[in-house]
Amino acid sequence: MKGLLMVLTLFLLLLGSILFLFLPKDLNLIGAALIFFGLSLSFPIGAWGLPLRQKRKNRTYQAILEAITCQGWNIYYRGKPDSKIDTRETYKRGPVESLEKGLLYVILPKVNNPTEKNTVDSFIEKHQVEPKITVPLSESYRFLGRIVYPNTEPKIEDLLRSGEEISFIGFELQEKEVRLLAPLKTFIPYDVFLEALKTLQDINILEKF
């Protein structure tokens, strides 16, 4: 249906332009009307692209969630960049089941009672685990990501390199990249992040509390 509308739109715009240019001036309105009608059809075609892009983003968000949770980790809501919620509230809410852009999330081990902070802390202390990923090979990507150094003017950035290991406690999904909550302000493209998550430690085999 969408393809048929696109063909019809192009046909009307082309026909309208020809009639507008070559018909006598007193009949130019016919060509102008066809051009206007063609342009009016083009609007919903463009509008249909918006939900499709959102669906692709949602699939990417879901892939990130699954890549992390299948390795024995949970993802918790931590608030917004300018207004974090209390840690007790984070645990009280429990693990999230979906991800949204512009929110902060932390990654913590799966335990038998994920709303109990002491249980999660005991697991971390016993097994000494923390989320880490390794930046994939650069041959497959044009851009691997960047580090933004704090308190520098002008702003100083450095590029992520293949094989670089990144320790992080969570992330924020942004429009075109993922911000990692790491010791250094780190940004990584979505496709690179998904590939890097394959190196996240699998802690499913560790004893649960």
- Same domain assignment for residues 30 and 80: no
Same domain, 137 and 167: yes
In this prediction, what percent of the chain has a pLDDT beyond 90? 66
Q: What local confidence, expressed as pLDDT, does residue 35 receive? A: 45
Are 54 and 80 part of one and the same domain? no
193 in the same domain as 126: yes
Please check whether residues 90 and 143 belong to one and the same domain. yes
Residue 64 has pLDDT above 50, yes or no: yes
Give me the number of domains the chain comprises.
2
Q: Of the residues 13, 29, 59, which one is the last residue of a structural domain?
A: 59
Whether 50 is in a domain gets the answer: yes
Report the alpha-carbon distance of residue 120 to residue 79 in Å, rounded: 19
Assess contact for 200 and 132: CB atoms under 8 A: yes
pTM of the model: 0.76
30 with 130, same domain: the answer is: no
The pLDDT of residue 96: 98
Mean pLDDT of 155-183: 95
Task: Give yes or no: residues 54 and 106 share one domain.
Answer: no
Interval 93-99 mean pLDDT: 97
> How many CA atoms, within 13 angstroms, populate the side-chain half-sphere of residue 58?
8
Cα–Cα distance list, 206 to 107, 111, 124, 209 (Å): 16, 10, 11, 10
Residue 119 within any structural domain of the chain: yes
For residue 133, list its beta bridge partners.
166
> Terminus-to-terminus CA distance in the chain, angstroms?
55
User: pLDDT for 7-45, tens place per residue?
Assistant: 555 554 455 455 445 555 554 555 455 445 545 555 554
Which pLDDT tens digit goes with each residue over 114-160? 999 999 999 999 999 999 999 999 888 999 999 999 887 788 899 99
Same domain, 51 and 136: no
| Same domain membership, residue 81 and residue 54 | no
- Across 106-133, b (16+ Cβ under 10 Å) vs e yields bbbbbbeebeeeebbeebeeeeebebeb
My answer on whether 117 and 153 are in the same domain is yes
Is position 67 within any domain? no
**Domain C-terminal end among 10, 29, 59:** 59
As a whole number of angstroms, the distance between CA 119 and CA 35 comes to 67
Examine residue 206 and state whether it is found in any structural domain, yes or no: no
* Domain, as residue range, for 31: 2-59
Q: How many Å apart are CA 51 and CA 29, to the nearest integer?
A: 35
- Residue at 68 is within a domain: no
Same domain, 20 and 85: no
Are 52 and 82 part of one and the same domain? Answer: no
45 compared with 87, residue with greater pLDDT? 87
pLDDT tens-digit map of 181-197 = 999 999 999 999 999 99
